[in-house]
Amino acid sequence: MENINPQCQSLGVLRGWLTLLALVLWLPAAGAAPLSLPFYDGIPGTYPLGTGGGSGAVWTLGAASTNIAVAPGVVLNYPALLATPGGGSAIAVTTAGTLQAMGVGFSPVTNGYVYASFLLQLMFPPAGSNTVCLAGLDGRSAYADSPELAMGLNAADQLVVGRRTLGTVSQATPALVNGQTYLVVVRYHFVPGSTNDTLDLWLNPGSAGVAESNVPSATIAGYVNPAVADATNLQAFYLVSPATAGGPAQWLLGDVRIGTNWAAVTPPDQPVAVIVTPDNANPSFMNLPGGSPVQFTVAGADQNGNLQTVSWYLNGVWQQTDTNLSGYAGTDTWSHGFAAAGTNTVQAVVGNSAGSYSSPAASWTVTTVASQRGMYVDQLTNIVGNAAAENSVLQYALANQITYLALYVGSGKLTNTLSSFIQRAKTNYGIQQIGFVGQNTNDFNNYTNYNNLYAGKADVFNLEYEYWNLTPRDFDGYMGRLQYLNYLTTPLGLQVEAYVGWPSNSEITQIAGQVDRLLVHCYVTNPTNAYTYGWTNNYRWYYAGLATNRATLWPIFSCESSNYYSDQPFMGDWLAANSLNAAETNFMGSYARDTNALKYNAALLGFQYYSSRFMSPLLFLMATNESPTNLAANVSTGAGLTITMNAGVVKGAAGNVTIRQVTNNATLASIPIADSRITVSGNQASISPGTAFAHGTAYYVLIDATCFKSGSGAYFPGVTLTNAWTFTVP
């Protein structure tokens, strides 16, 4: 077939086509089943409307008409848009004195979007001053002269769209030129409310086949008719031969497409590249041990069956080209290890044997971050307000790169003392976030009031409500609490976090959709089992990643040991002999070996440890008292120093206790731990300076982290900040 310039055709020739086709035109098929979307008709020139190219009647709505019929030999094409395989034809529409319509019925759509696209070429525009309807989307299976979306042509040969009427519209496209082929896309958007639904129209848009988030700006955007009630559904697309005065008018239409997204109605005439895994275009990953690889998978498609290559790029630099694709569709993978934190772009370009390439490429923006680490802090009554205990907990956090503390606050500690502790933690000890753990709405109401009053604020509200241990399970109550948390935190800019133990697959997907961070318990005795037991068991992690907001997930390791639960010690005993880093490296090794692509559904960015009560003295010694106390103002010149721990203490193998003046950092004494001036007895260490303190002088004390340890080898984290233990001699 060859392209025919309609400006070279006479009106009589076209009328001859229509007269011949009228002999074989389809008559409406009663009870034809609605079609599934997406729908495409390339208008093969070998069939009359209604037969669907031998696949059954499709244009079954409306009445048989001599004014809407196939025009054999006429082919409409549009650059960069997929052409009909093997060629196609056009539908010729001729106006007459009465309105006629023919349509396609599809399964009703009640929300989201409905798109329709087609190629349009004016031959003889309508005469007169009226706007005429060319096509429409409607919710009725019998055409009425007022479709929910009406697309028409005004007297200036400009396209317009309207709701139920074209008489009041003001927005219009540029004027169409006779004989030129245009791509027209219209969209109906179901918007919540009663008269809010919007219409859009594109004339010759670019960006064929792109995702919904990249749809180009519309030529006519966001048309609303507030006088017309919103449609309850759409289930039909009509081509219209309007009634016109002043003689017949004619136009051609081709390649009719209907769908619920942009890509369905604008397929590009080139190979297509679609991301498969990670299926999130903006994934986040923790730095994996040794830069363990992330696997990227792309799906390629070529409508002509000529797939050939996939070229991979990292930050715009070519990495490799694979040549193992063929046929109409296939997949290809590439792996890369991100050894350093940062943001990188990975792209895959699919090519065919004709030398065409996918545009746009499949693209991922990959963020890799340093591993994050958090700790639950409970029994706050024994910590907050006690300078020695505060310093021990915060010093341990600093030494172990713990940047998040989840505090079991309760109502009794919501005071300025807590605010001071939080400010010290963030200012001096590298804590980036503070979470408040609660169980019910009253807890979080109290936390909100506290945040409004004090400078040392929470950044995260953590829900800890073990609905899975209740009989019956109270999942609805849990979700209600999460929804209330979102209501409280959104205006405050806080994050929502939740702890889960044994949710079902569907439950964890719903929970993940309500939180910024999800803490998943991995309560095992050895981290070797943590990944499979606590993480992929019942696919909890995989299903959490199905939530649309892509929550961050952290596993929780419990430091409960046989000292507390001899029958179920969890990981405390293992951690007493190994490091936090070793536990996490073990876990991430299992992650790296997991070949299930579903692991990429959620971002694994950190680890949480439960809790300070079980971590000390098992993993570190906590000071419970210092003498003189921090900020003491009436210390005698001959005073000695003592520090009391929460377990028996012995000397370490190395380190010093140092006493310096606050004003000039002059050293009064630097005492090696082996020196006889330092003695230990029970849970107390005593330090004799050996030199008298001077009157009118302020001092601070530093203790190396290797100086003191428990009998089982847990070290006191030391005192490394100059403002942690200070006193004044008057």
pLDDT number for residue 291 = 58
**Hey, what amino acid is at 599?**
K
- Of 29-43, 115-129, 228-242, least confident by mean pLDDT is 29-43
Report the pLDDT averaged over residues 133-157: 87
pLDDT of residue 44: 63
pLDDT at 480: 96
- 353-385: per-residue pLDDT in tens? 877 888 788 999 988 888 899 999 999 999 999
Structure tokens at 587: 């876990």
What span, in angstroms and rounded, lies between the C-alpha atoms of 292 and 273?
A: 25
178: number of Cβ within 10 Å:
13
pLDDT at 88: 62
The more confident residue out of 249 and 56 is 249
Mean pLDDT value of segment 82-89: 56
Q: Cα(87)–Cα(42) distance, rounded to whole angstroms?
A: 8
**For the segment 323-334, what is each residue's pLDDT rounded down to a tens digit?**
988 887 889 999
- Total-model pTM: 0.64
Q: What is the predicted pLDDT for the residue at 23?
A: 24
- More confident position, 234 or 264: 234
Average pLDDT of span 487-497: 95
Distances (CA, A) of 212 to 113, 298, 329, 457: 10, 19, 22, 39
pLDDT for residue 86 is more than 60: no
Beta strands in 396-459 (DSSP E): 404-407, 433-438
Beta strand 307-314 pairing with 517-521: unpaired
Query: For the segment 26-81, what is each residue's pLDDT rounded down to a tens digit?
Result: 233 344 567 888 888 877 655 455 433 333 457 778 766 667 877 767 777 776 56
Q: How many CB atoms lie within 10 A of CB 8?
A: 8
Our CA angle for 614, 615, 620, nearest 5°, is 140
Asked whether the beta carbons of 1 and 73 are under 8 A apart, the reply is yes
Strand partners, 373: 607
Q: Which residues pair with 514 in a beta bridge?
A: none
pLDDT in tens, 386-443: 999 999 999 999 999 999 999 999 767 899 999 999 999 999 999 999 999 999 999 9
CB under 8 Å, gap of 24 or more: what pairs does 25-28 form? 25/49, 25/50, 25/64, 25/65, 25/66, 25/69, 26/50, 26/51, 26/57, 26/59, 26/60, 26/64, 27/64, 28/60, 28/61, 28/62, 28/63, 28/64
Whether pLDDT at 540 is above 80: no
The pLDDT assigned to 64 comes to: 60
> What percent of the chain has pLDDT above 70?
87
Least confident range of 139-148, 458-467, 612-621, 707-716: 139-148
Between 44 and 602, where is the model more confident? Answer: 602
- Determine the residue type at 510: Q
Pairing relation of β-strands 552-558 and 603-604?
A: parallel
> 314 pLDDT band (50/70/90 cuts)?
very high
Q: Which helix (H) or strand (E) holds 588?
A: helix 580-593
And the tokens for 684?
A: 């107390």
Helix (H) or strand (E) holding 542: helix 540-544
Q: What is the mean pLDDT of residues 537-550?
A: 65
Q: Which domains does the chain have, with CATH numbers?
A: 6-27+37-265 (2.60.120.200), 278-369 (2.60.40.10), 372-615 (3.20.20.220), 623-729 (2.60.40.1220)
* pLDDT for residue 53: 36
* pLDDT, averaged across the chain: 85
- The answer to whether the beta carbons of residues 18 and 94 sit under 8 Å apart is yes
Per-residue pLDDT at 551 exceeds 70: yes
Any residues with CB less than 8 A from the CB of 582 and at least 6 apart, and which?
Answer: 527
- 41-56 pLDDT, tens digit per residue, is 877 655 455 433 333 4
CB burial of residue 233 (10 Å; 0-12, 13-18, 19+): middle
Residue 371: closest CA among 582, 682, 201: 582
Residue 680: its pLDDT value, please?
97
Comparison of pLDDT for 208 and 67, the residue scoring more:
67
Average pLDDT rounded to a whole number, residues 494-518: 91
